Chain A
Amino acid sequence: MHKQDADITVKLTQTPFADYFTKLQSQLAAGTTACIVSMQSLRLPAFKDALEPLGPLMKKAGFDESQWNPGALKALQVDGQQYAIPYGLSTMLLYYNKDAFAKAGVPAPTNDWTTSDFESAAAKITAVDGKPAFGQSFSDLHMFSMLFAYNGARPVTDAAKLDLTNSPMEQAFTWYSGLATKEKVSSIPASSSDVPWGEQQFVAGNVAMAVDGDWNISSDATQAAFPVGVVALPQGPNGGGTYSANSGFGIAKSCQNKEAAAKAIAIITSESAQVEQAKAGTHPARLAADDAFFQALATATDKKSPGYAAQAKAAMEAASAKSVPFISTSSWDQTTKLIAREFILAYSGSESADTALQNVQQSSK
């Protein structure tokens, strides 16, 4: 694909997502990477040394901070430096199957739901349906955001060091894996390679609730064969809120023509580009594109789930108000792979939650 403007040609190269950050690493080493790289807030700590701080460059390209959602920008900063310009704004939400709630006679979730509301609803729906009501996961955001909402437990310190064995984390993870092993209200991934699980089972109609990012707010509702509802994550007594995570465009340090790259980023994140993207179902990072997003969402979902767009707007506002950017470590890729391998043992009850956390902590380099 070529997007052309003035003298700049942007050539798009693609890699399967599962291997994107692995590849990016070797490309940076070989100096063969593209000028503009797509960067996820989670992976930023691992790659910030290879990326150019964008401040002065973007200013030259006409970047105006006030037009952007501050949360969206913040998620792509390290030590106050902007390393990538977001193309979206993402927070984690709880999606639910309206039919399943009605059938079990359970009142629908709200943005003020507590963890115990969530547990008792899950128990009732599981009893009525005969199959688990909640879809669990070990994908970083989907899982850790639930733990964060439960008691504010965080897997990574402010200094970007892995810290899985702190006691809030042990409590929260014991609770989360207990949803499957003790309460038996939760469906667990079929294998360590099933990194998207809960949201997939949700869309298939196998579970009544799942955590997913607002990047799927449109597709989850249009793909499911039932009416979908969405709220902010249920909070425990010491709940920390929810996580936000963003993807954006950064510039490689090895880039020969950084000013042109900055100009190109300004074009692909311009207001008109963001409006187009909003219409296609991605929650935009620019404030001015917000309306276009919710209008498009209403058009796409009103027939199947009336009132969904309004509910989504309220849920996203509630979530954004208490969202914190998710910080990861410099070897996050390796850690997520260990998490997938170890945590499934805790979910299936073949290992205690504490042991699983300790194993990942010890094996991470």
Chain B
Amino acid sequence: MTALAERAPVRTRDRRRRRNDTRAALAFLTPSAAGLTVFILFPSVLAIATSLFHWPTYGDITFAGLDNYAELFSARSDFGPALLNTVVFTLLIVPINLVLTVGVAFWVASSRFRQLYRVLFFIPVVTPSVATAIIWKLLYQPDGVLSWVAGMFGATPPNFLASPSSALLSVVVVILWNGFGYNMLIFSAAIDQLPEDVLAAASLDGAGRWRTMFQMKLPLMTPAIFFATTVTLIQSFQIFNEPYVMTAGGPGTSTITVVMNVYQTAFQSGQLGEAAAPAIVLFVLILVVTLVQWTGQKKWVQYE
């Protein structure tokens, strides 16, 4: 077949197909786009609008301008400590989670029972976080298992969830435990896909284990690491269930988070407008962090 003879008909066919495809795409997209508009885009706009009003669940709605945002920084607002805690939670959880899950994923891959371990480490992920919080509350009891273990090693255990110095860290441990299997599974899949031949060649070249790890394997896994980082980051900014059930935000304000602040202002104090403001601030924060990450990815993520 000669290219010349083919070219013209291909182009018209291509155009016709494109037109067909456009029509089909429209049809295939309709349910998703309609749902997205009604349940995500419209509420997002409404959220911004709500934040500009005094909007009690029970009573009259009045325009507030930026009052609700200004109120966030007043002395009696929980927003300041909530934002700080949320950032601290994120800064602790993301790096610890990633280092541990990558490490254990490799460790598990070296085992004969890798499939079993992947399931075992995944169990906390399928456990409802309310149940997780209940389980750990039991372990953290004064005179509970963890105090007892600490006592065996001669340490005086803190009252884990009651003391401001240990409450946040105790919650961090639970969140790490709960989310561990998720990233580990993603890294396990990535490890399974490492190209055997390349690695074998490297080992023939006399590259040591650590060198292979850091110069070959990890760089090949950067797309997975990038994905896991993004997801873990977004999740960490939205922590609510664990501290809500385990500590109710206490002691003092040491474990309240932005989402808890949103929930309590909206549904316990009944101020929807005042609650929408911190929600919008949280959104902007997540947006900025994610954008920074996306622009930064070119520097370290190796796509083929």
Contact = CB atoms under 8 A, between A and B. Distances in A.
Interface of A: 22, 25-26, 28-29, 50, 131, 187-194, 206, 331, 333-334, 337, 340-342, 344-345, 347-348, 350-351, 359, 362-363, 365
Contact of A362 (B76, B159, B164, B256): B76
A42 B73 CA distance: 32
Interface string B146-182: 0000000000000111111001000000000000000
Give the top 9 A-B pairs by smallest Cβ distance, nearest first. Answer: A192-B250, A191-B161, A341-B250, A193-B248, A29-B57, A192-B248, A29-B58, A344-B251, A191-B247
A194 B160 CA distance: 13
**Interface SS majority for chain A:** helix
A206 B248 contact: no
Interface of B: 57-58, 75-76, 78, 137, 140-143, 159-164, 167, 244-253, 256, 264, 267-270
A25 B140 contact: no
Given A191-B247, A341-B250, 9 more contacts: A22-B268, A26-B270, A190-B142, A190-B162, A192-B250, A193-B245, A342-B250, A344-B251, A350-B163
Contacts of A350: 163-164, 251
B141 A348 contact: no
A344 B248 CA distance: 11
**Interface SS majority for chain B:** loop
Given A25-B58, A350-B164, A191 B250 contact: yes
Given A191-B161, A191-B167, A344-B251, A334 B269 contact: yes
Contact of B250 (A26, A29, A187, A340): A340
Contacts of B76: 362-363, 365
8 contacts: A190-B141, A192-B161, A193-B250, A206-B143, A334-B268, A345-B251, A348-B163, A365-B76
Contacts of A28: 58
A29 B266 CA distance: 13
Contact of B137 (A50, A190, A347): A190
A342 B252 contact: yes
Nearest to B161: A191
A57 B22 CA distance: 67
A200 B136 CA distance: 18
B242 to A, nearest CB: 11
Residue from B251, B252, B253, B256 with most neighbouring chain A CB atoms (10 Å): B251
Contacts of B75: 362
A29 B248 CA distance: 25
Contacts of A29: 57-58, 270
Nearest to A364: B76
